[in-house]
């Protein structure tokens, strides 16, 4: 009876497997005939009740039936998977003759474009580019620039301190101090120092805790204030138009003496007065001055033999003035609608 039952199960299983038209039905057939509670397993469990003569015959037949069903299931599974893949490929066919999607080309960020333009100008004037660490020592950020620990001018720059002696640099002037020190008292030194700086400002339309800065330094024999004015005049005409005029107003910076603020004649109204220049005809652009003797001395230069000038400007301010941008935060929010306006700036 067991032999007949096995032969019947074989025929039934093969018929069920052959009629399966999807993988789910095939898996159900596998569980039904070969599972732990399937009929073949039950027969193998009951072989202990058989006589010694019947046991090897039934056992051999049961194993043959199980192997045959297993082989047929694997064969059917491979066939179903191949058909399923073929149907998927047919339904997801791509027409390679269709035009592809155009990828919009990228461009430089507006601030990067301003910095590159300034760099190109000053490289043409004989300057080189120097960079330095954004996480800076207090010594180079303040003391080497004539700002000792008890100097009241330090209150003008609330800073992000990491330790008592390490901070996020508040200007790129430390790069100038490091460059002077590297030259060991021998000129000339003629560099510009672009980079990111950090101050504890409350973010608003005109202030940011992080912004860009470009500073310049020229130290050599007999460098004069008139040389500084000539360089700044070239800069103003290049960036804001050939008909620009400049004026220098007295100011104060601890690391320069004398110190000046540079204004340019308003490029919007030509100096007659408008909302851009607030009716004065002039727009403040940058600060500058002759390098303080103490700064030269601390960097190993003899102020009796060498003189120099330094200046500092903000790319954000230049961009805001040139392109009528009213909020400095636009530069850092990565709004593509804003950035696309300056694709070819």
In a domain, 193, yes or no: yes
Distance CA 275, CA 269 (A): 9
Handedness of CA 231, 232, 233, 236 (dihedral sign): positive
In a domain, 242, yes or no: yes
Residue ranges of the annotated binding site for Mg(2+) are 257
Examine the domain organization and report whether 61 and 186 are in the same domain: no
CATH number at residue 129: 3.30.930.10
* Predicted local distance difference test score (pLDDT) of residue 185: 92
* Predicted local distance difference test score (pLDDT) of residue 8: 83
Q: Residues near 128 by Cβ (< 8 Å), separated by ≥ 6? A: 190, 191, 192
Cβ(203)–Cβ(197) below 8 Å: no
H or E segment and range at residue 309: strand 307-313
Give the strands of the sheet with 189-198, arranged side by side.
128-129, 189-198, 210-220, 307-313, 282-291, 256-265, 246-253
Compare 313 and 58 and report the one with higher pLDDT: 313
Examine the domain organization and report whether 72 and 163 are in the same domain: no
In a domain, 97, yes or no: no
Q: Can you read off the two tokens belonging to residue 226?
A: 């008139």
Q: What are phi and psi of 341, to 5 degrees?
A: -70, -20
Angle at 100 between CA 95 and CA 105, to 5 degrees: 165
Q: Can you read off the two tokens belonging to residue 139?
A: 């010594």
Examine the domain organization and report whether 295 and 218 are in the same domain: yes
Residue ranges of the annotated binding site are 257
Cβ(313)–Cβ(321) below 8 Å: no
pLDDT class of 153 with cuts at 50, 70, 90: low
How confident is the model over 78-114, as pLDDT tens digits? 998 998 888 888 887 777 787 878 887 788 899 999 9
What proportion of the chain, given as a percentage, has pLDDT over 70? 96
pLDDT for residue 345 is more than 70: no
**What total number of domains does the chain contain?**
2
Examine the domain organization and report whether 284 and 154 are in the same domain: yes
In a domain, 102, yes or no: no
CA atoms within 13 A on the CB side of 159: 24
Q: Which domain holds residue 72?
A: 2-91
Examine the domain organization and report whether 184 and 315 are in the same domain: yes
Q: Average per-residue pLDDT in the chain?
A: 88
């Amino acid at each position: 009876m067991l032999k007949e039952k096995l032969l019947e199960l074989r025929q039934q299983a093969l018929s069920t497997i052959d009629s399966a038209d999807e993988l789910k039905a095939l898996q159900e057939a596998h569980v039904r005939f070969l599972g732990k509670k399937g009929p073949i397993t039950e027969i193998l469990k009951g072989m202990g009740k058989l006589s010694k003569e019947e046991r090897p015959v039934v056992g051999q037949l049961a194993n043959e039936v199980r192997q045959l069903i297993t082989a047929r299931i694997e064969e059917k599974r491979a066939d179903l998977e191949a058909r399923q893949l073929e149907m998927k490929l047919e339904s997801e066919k791509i027409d390679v003759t269709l035009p592809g999607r155009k990828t919009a080309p990228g461009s430089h960020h507006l601030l990067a474009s301003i910095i590159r333009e300034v760099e190109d100008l000053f490289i043409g004037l004989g300057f080189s580019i120097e960079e330095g660490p954004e996480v800076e020592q207090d010594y180079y950020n303040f003391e080497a620039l004539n700002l000792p620990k008890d100097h009241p001018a330090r209150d003008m720059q609330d800073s992000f301190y990491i330790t008592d002696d390490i901070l996020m640099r508040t200007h790129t002037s430390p790069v100038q101090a490091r460059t002077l020190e590297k030259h060991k008292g021998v000129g000339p030194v003629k560099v510009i120092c672009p980079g990111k700086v950090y101050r504890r400002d409350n973010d608003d339309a005109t202030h940011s805790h992080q912004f860009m800065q470009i500073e310049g330094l020229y130290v050599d024999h007999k460098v004069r204030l008139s040389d500084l004015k000539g360089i700044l005049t070239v800069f103003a005409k290049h960036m804001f138009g050939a008909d620009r005029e400049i004026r220098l107003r007295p100011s104060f910076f601890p690391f320069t003496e004398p110190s000046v603020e540079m204004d340019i004649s308003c490029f919007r109204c030509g100096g007659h007065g408008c909302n851009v220049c607030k009716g004065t005809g002039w727009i403040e652009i940058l600060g500058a001055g002759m390098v303080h003797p103490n700064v030269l001395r601390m960097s190993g230069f003899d102020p009796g033999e060498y003189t120099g000038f330094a200046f500092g400007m903000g790319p954000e301010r230049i961009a805001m003035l040139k392109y009528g941008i009213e909020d400095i935060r636009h530069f850092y929010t990565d709004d593509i609608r804003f950035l696309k306006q300056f694709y070819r700036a």
